[in-house]
Structure 1
Amino acid sequence: MTYASRKFNRLGKYAFSSILAFGSFCALTQAAHAADPEKVTIMVGGITKLIYLPARLTEQLGYFKAEGLDVELLSQPAGVDAENELLAGAVQAVVGFYDHSIDLQAKGKEVKAIVVFGQVPGEVEMVASKQADTIKSMADVKGKTLGVTGLGSSTNFLTQYLAHLKGIPNSEYTVLPVGADNSFIAAIKQNRIDAGMTTEPTVSQLLKSGDAKVLVDMRSLEGTREALGGTYPASSLYVQSAWLDTHKDAAQKLARAFVHTLQYLHTHTADEIAAQMPKDYYGSDKALYVSALKASLPMYTADGKMPADGPDTVLKVLAGFNPSVKDKHIDLSRTFTNQFVSQVK
């Protein structure tokens, strides 16, 4: 064999080895990418609210990672802001109120709840203690300023409906967006609102300080049925229907993670659950947080499924004051699905 032939063979072997090495590298790279957690960004309409507790608790328990998901939780003070982020494509999912899916369908937008966390709103209409003698029910809000988390938010929907039931049109009171948590408390203390709708643990903080009293309580099934006439599914995980059609595997993983969290909530004490949460959730008064959490535990569903009578009640509430919903045919079957939670053992 000539020198040139031997050299060609050596080069050929080297080239072949290089190709094999490169192929192995590509395979390893592809495998590594396949093993990378799937990124999902979820916007929460007020992440420290107890009604949305499953969002952060699922992260704390490691259930997202167990499903091979890389979930980023973001927070907006009002559900309507979270909804806007979803519609803009900035996030893939929202933890917010189910009623947005009905309101949006009336506006030609399609979103769908795939996990239901709360079978009741968990909302409370609080009246400032200074106004408690003059505002004894929603029939007394004429000429008053009522606080909501944001315009177009679920607190705004519910406020309008409760006033509507008492014969007070929204033209006879003022709605002021004041956010939640500390900003809501400040609005009460600074006399910027006469009453307003908020959730736990803000309710317990206001009751403890004596700055406000309960006017309408929708933290329990009994209170919700009394106020709204039925079960009112509220906090949920919802996504755009178009995204759901092409991301069923991710939706199933999210549903499984959240249902496991709901099961955890029903099999652990308030103290055990609070111990899983970051310290800034309860601050310097952990006892108050635990007390509020204990009172809130019955509102969570055990399986993430939509209550049978829930969608009809929500539609009735929205149609009661919202002409755009009342005048449209709403297909409730397109606003939620139990498909994914039903597959969770």
Structure 2
Amino acid sequence: MPASLTRRSFHVLAAASGVALVAVPALRAQPKLEKPRLSIAVGGKAAFYYLPLTIAEQLGYFRDEGLSVEIADFAGGARALQAVVGGSADVCSGAFEHTINLQAKSQLFQSFVLQGRAPQIAMGVSTRNLPQYQGVADLRGKRIGVSAPGSSTNMVANLVLSRAGLKAADVSYVGVGVAAGALTALRSGQIDAISNTDPVMTMLEQKGDVKIISDTRTLKGTQEVFGGPMPAACLYAPAEFVQKNPNTCQALAHAIVHALKWLQTAGPGDIIKAVPEAYLLGDRALYLASFDKVRESISPDGLVPAEGPKTALNAIASFDTQVKPERIDLDKLYTNDFARRAKDRFKA
């Protein structure tokens, strides 16, 4: 073999080696997921309350981040929380206020990306069972349907009752879910009032089945009920999980914020194509009407508003004597670090 060819081969190999040496650090810079396979527990996935989670799943955003996510759907947020506390799920897609209730019991859980900036929960009374309804006091001794006892729908109902001088013990709570079962329970007369999310509440409202007495489906309504911004659906997990799996939590935040970004410009047709047919509850037009009503309550960027945790704490402490505000460390309830990086990446 000629010497010149040998030298040329050497230089080609050297150049190739140089490229390899440059490329390897770049590959190593990609964060390794500590837990690429994980489970998320959610209470009532069909509700608009958790629409960002559904969009992230349906459009493959979790997969794009290298995650294999199993979503376990429960009847309500309280049951989803139990799954995470019990260890059968890694992360909860649930109400922000659950982190407060948990910390009050000396269990540190942390929210790391927000899905909703308003609870999207409305409370209404049955026009069939309570046609002469005059005020909240009329609910004494009545049956109130909630997604599940201990859920955020239960929390809103407790708040409405407490402001009228009633206690949770003055009524009977019935778990009805957030889909067809909730519609049936109200329309068949099994419950006298209902605290629930959309699309259920809009469907009942537009058919004249309920009279709305409290509404947090809009930012204005949320301000009136809670007196400030109220963080709602979020991804939260044990603080230890967040600390040990930062890359995994970042990937989850990326997927959710990607979904939030998509929802900012999605049209009715896009929504219909993205969600499972069963979510429409047999009425596409009413489903879309419901979406229009709650659209502004979906977080635009995944960030928990600065005053949000305090608003949530004040609301819960107003009716739950076990929650002592002075013992709650608001800064430990959440972190915006992951959502902020996701916001920057997706320009949300």
The TM-score by the shorter chain falls in which range? 0.7 to 0.9
Distance 2:82 2:182 in 1: 22
Cα contact 1:271–1:290 (8 A) shared by 2: no
Of stretches 250-259 and 324-333 in structure 1, the one that deviates more from structure 2 is: 324-333
Partner of 1:269: 267
**2:155 alignment partner in structure 1:** 157
Tell me how far 1:60 sits from its aligned partner.
Answer: 1.3
SS at match of 2:335: coil
Mapped contact 1:123–1:218 kept (Cα < 8 A): yes
Q: CA separation in 1, counterparts of 2:307 and 2:268?
A: 28
Query: What TM-score does the superposition give when structure 2 sets the normalisation length?
Result: 0.85
Is the 8 Å Cα contact of residues 180 and 281 (structure 2) preserved in structure 1?
A: no
Shift of 1:260: 0.9
RMSD across aligned positions (CA)? 1.8
**1:245-284 aligned within 5 A:** 245-284=243-282
Q: Is the 8 A contact 2:39 2:90 kept in 1?
A: yes
Q: 1:106–1:328: 8 Å Cα contact kept in structure 2?
A: no
Identical columns (%): 33
For residues 10-36 of structure 1, give each alpha carbon's deviation from its aligned partner in whole angstroms, at most 9, with x where no partner exists: xxxxxxxxxxxxxxxxxxxxxxxx899
Q: Do the aligned residues in 1 keep the contact of 2:113 with 2:253 (CA within 8 Å)?
A: yes
Q: Which moved more, 1:326-335 or 1:112-121?
A: 326-335
Write the distance in 2 (CA, Å) between the matches of 1:143 and 1:285: 33
Where does residue 46 of structure 1 map in the other structure? Answer: 44
Alpha-carbon spacing, 1:333–1:60, altered in 2? closer, same or farther (3 Å): same
Displacement of 1:135 in angstroms is 2.7
Determine whether 1:100 maps to 2:98: yes
Alignment partner for residue 166 of structure 1, among 153, 164, 167?
164
TM-score if structure 1 supplies the norm length?
A: 0.86
The answer on whether the counterparts of 1:122 and 1:219 sit within 8 Å (CA) in structure 2 is yes
Contact 2:314 2:325 in 1 (8 A): no
- What code does the residue aligned with 1:156 have? N
Regions of 4+ moved over 4 Å: 34-37
User: Which one of the candidate residues 65, 77, 97 is aligned to 1:67?
Assistant: 65
- The answer to whether residue 292 in structure 2 is matched with residue 294 in structure 1 is yes
Matched, 1:175 2:173: yes
Determine helix, strand or coil for the equivalent of 2:169. Answer: helix
Residue aligning to 2:334: 336
User: Bigger shift: 252-261 or 139-148?
Assistant: 139-148
Q: How has the CA–CA distance of structure 1 residues 330 and 118 changed in structure 2, closer, same or farther, with 3 Å as cutoff?
A: same
Between the aligned partners of 1:137 and 1:119, the Cα distance in structure 2 is 28
Cα deviation, 1:228-272, whole Å, max 9, x if unaligned, reads 222211111111111111100000000011101101111222332
What are the residue-to-residue correspondences of 1:179-258 with 2, within 5 Å? 179-258=177-256
Is the 1:83–1:94 Cα contact (8 Å) retained in structure 2? yes
Q: Is the 8 A contact 1:116 1:236 kept in 2?
A: yes
Kindly provide the amino acid, as one letter, of the partner of residue 210 in structure 1. Answer: G
Q: Counterpart of 1:41 in structure 2: which amino acid?
A: S
Q: Which runs of 5+ in 2 are unaligned?
A: 1-31
Q: For structure 1, which runs of at least 5 residues remain unmatched after alignment? A: 1-33
Q: What secondary structure, in the 3-state scheme, does the structure 1 residue paired with 2:306 have?
A: coil
Shift of 1:76: 0.3
Aligned residue pairs total: 312
SS at match of 1:147: strand
Residue 211 of structure 1, CA deviation: 2.0
- Report the secondary structure of 1:204's partner residue: helix
Matched letter for residue 280 of structure 1: A
2:17 alignment partner in structure 1: none
Secondary structure of the structure 2 residue equivalent to 1:82: helix
